[in-house]
Amino acid sequence: MNWTQFRSHCRQLHHWCNQEGNESVGFKSSIPAELGAEQPNSYLADQLANSLRHLTGEHCKSAANTYAALPLSSTLIESTQFKRALIYLGYITFVFFIVLSIYQVKVFPQFLAMFEALDTPLQDNILTSSLLRPVFFGAVVIYLLIVFSIAIRLRSIQKFTRDYSQSSVLNYFIFPSIKTHYKNILNALRYPLCNAETRALHSNWVIKHLSEIDCNKQPISLEIVDIIQTESQALMIACERQMRVMSALLAVVLIFAIAGFLASAYSPIFMTGNVL
């Protein structure tokens, strides 16, 4: 379910509660698959919709009405730099590995056969670099997989397409500021589902602030929209900051990798000139 479909679901649920005496029992929404088809599905939209079905009475009616008024499809902000950064880094990495693989499989064996034919042993540093090159290649591949996995996770966090609030190894590589803004957005979105007891026990500033607004009988949907917009913007900036850090580290790794490759690639050529 995408966010446009979720709003339609909430509007239908609110209408159902008005007709059925504030009860959501037996409710089933009718949402065409084409509605908001250009938007990605969100686990959070499905989660909120399922939670709404378990509410009863005035709480269900009020929560459905609040969600129906939230323009979530335009409020949740996603960075446009991730795709370009991933394509660029992926292209550079792909070209480097193709060149390295061709040299390792096609070029270096020819040098080795030529020196054997000339009965000239290769220098120890050349043999050592040829042996260590696959190890270094594997280490760089592992690092790249980690970087790309984190980048994909950051993109999914912004789009709320998968639940990353649960523990995971990759979560340790995500900046704390990203986790904080992500949780603040979740708390704002889940606030209409919370009962009075849950709100009173919650220590998060978002829940406390919305509770005060609610107690003063002010429009809660406008306040939720403002919080989500502010936190989404901060989340996007934090994700872009981590992406820049990872890109810089990846660039350093590739620079050292290319430098090492060039040094090991030209050593047999210089040695050939000395032999001939």
For 17-55, how does the pLDDT look when each residue is reduced to its tens digit (9 = 90+)? 777 565 566 677 788 877 877 777 888 888 888 888 888
State how far the Cα of 179 lies from the Cα of 161, in Å rounded to an integer: 16
Q: What's the mean per-residue pLDDT of the chain?
A: 77
DSSP letter, residue 40: P
**Type and span of the H or E element at 65:** helix 57-68
Output the pLDDT for position 84. 72
| pLDDT higher than threshold 70 for residue 59 | yes
- Residue appearing with tokens 């060149």: 99
State how far the Cα of 153 lies from the Cα of 163, in Å rounded to an integer: 10
Degrees to nearest 5, angle at CA 137 with 131 and 139: 110
More confident residue, 125 or 86: 86
pTM (predicted TM-score):
0.74
Q: Considering only CA atoms, which of 47, 59, 49 is closest in space to residue 17?
A: 59
Output the pLDDT for position 79. 61
Q: Please give the span between the terminal C-alpha atoms of the chain, in angstroms, as a whole number.
A: 70
Backbone φ, ψ for residue 238 (5° rounding): -65, -40
Q: Which two tokens stand for residue 7?
A: 């709003």
| pLDDT higher than threshold 80 for residue 184 | yes
For 84-119, how does the pLDDT look when each residue is reduced to its tens digit (9 = 90+)? 766 776 777 777 778 777 777 777 677 667 666 666
Average pLDDT over residues 164-191: 82
Domain boundaries, the chain: 1-75, 76-276
Q: Which two tokens stand for residue 60?
A: 């269900």
Percent residues over pLDDT 90 in the chain: 1
